[in-house]
Amino acid sequence: MAYDKPGCGLSDPWPAPQTLDSDLEVLRTVIDHLELGRVDLLGLSMGAPVSLAYAVQHPERVGRLMLYGGFADGHQVASAEVRAAMIELVRAHWGLGSDVLADIFLPDGTAEAKVRFAELQRRSTTAGIASELLAQCYELRVDDLLDRVATPTLSCTGATTGPFPTGWDATWRPGSPGRGWSRSPAGATGCSPATPRRWSARSWDSSTSPGANSPPDGRRGRPARSRHGSSRSRPWSPAG
């Protein structure tokens, strides 16, 4: 399932600046309201740190975790100068700002794909909210939680940064010999731009999955996809 991040798509704006805590509150509310119980989480872009934080806070409720194009420290996404310039560009000229974000999100995309993605961003939220969410993206930090993950995890670096520098994929196998994050050259784990869609359709196999595919009671977790928290926020998710 997917939900719209507050201020995007059909979701009302959040009454205050959004933070990691507010994102976690939204995610918990969605999962509780839908009575999903145990879920598999797919976190895309700024949804990756939120999904990871939720898995650390609620390990009993997350069967598997996949992070794609995410990051552990928003300050590492770009230099301070670039971060400030991007926020101001999006706030001042959402048309040009959405075009630049499309280039960042889809560096190898076709011109048509970038135009459609930029249009989707502009239809999904306002310049003011977009700049606020971009600022939030740059302030998100979960690097202090990386060693507390208790969920089998696959991290694909995509176009931005993950627990390891761009160009590396990573897996986390809790309870296994040599416990900890292990990294492989990008693509070696089977990650590709199509990986999130394959994973959310439950087509992970043993060569792609970083750990056990089923929860202890033998029932598969229910997939929750996310570009923002842990359900994919369909309209817009800044990576800067």
Residue 214 lies in a domain: yes
Supply the angle between the helices 20-33 and 47-57 in degrees, to the nearest 10: 70
**Distance (Å, whole) CA 57 – CA 78:** 28
Residue 231 lies in a domain: no
What CATH number has the domain bearing residue 61?
3.40.50.1820
Return mean pLDDT, the chain: 76
pLDDT digits (tens, 9 = 90+) for 64-81: 888 888 888 999 889 999
User: Can you give the pLDDT at residue 229?
Assistant: 37
Q: Can you give the pTM of this predicted structure?
A: 0.74
Task: Find out whether 156 and 71 touch, Cβ atoms under 8 Å.
Answer: no
Residue 180 lies in a domain: no
Tokens found for residue 39: 């879920």
Residue 146 lies in a domain: yes
**Distance (Å, whole) CA 7 – CA 236:** 10
Residue 115 lies in a domain: yes
Task: Tell me how far CA of residue 68 lies from CA of 5, 94, 171, 228, in angstroms.
Answer: 18, 25, 12, 11
pLDDT digits (tens, 9 = 90+) for 133-172: 999 999 999 989 988 888 888 887 654 444 444 444 556 6
Q: Domain containing 114: what range?
A: 20-171+201-226
Residue 220 lies in a domain: yes
Q: Give the bridge partners for 2, in sequence order.
A: 232
pLDDT digits (tens, 9 = 90+) for 223-232: 444 444 334 4
Mean of pLDDT values over 201-206:
34
Residue 73 lies in a domain: yes
Residue 192 lies in a domain: no
Q: How many separate domains does the chain show?
A: 1
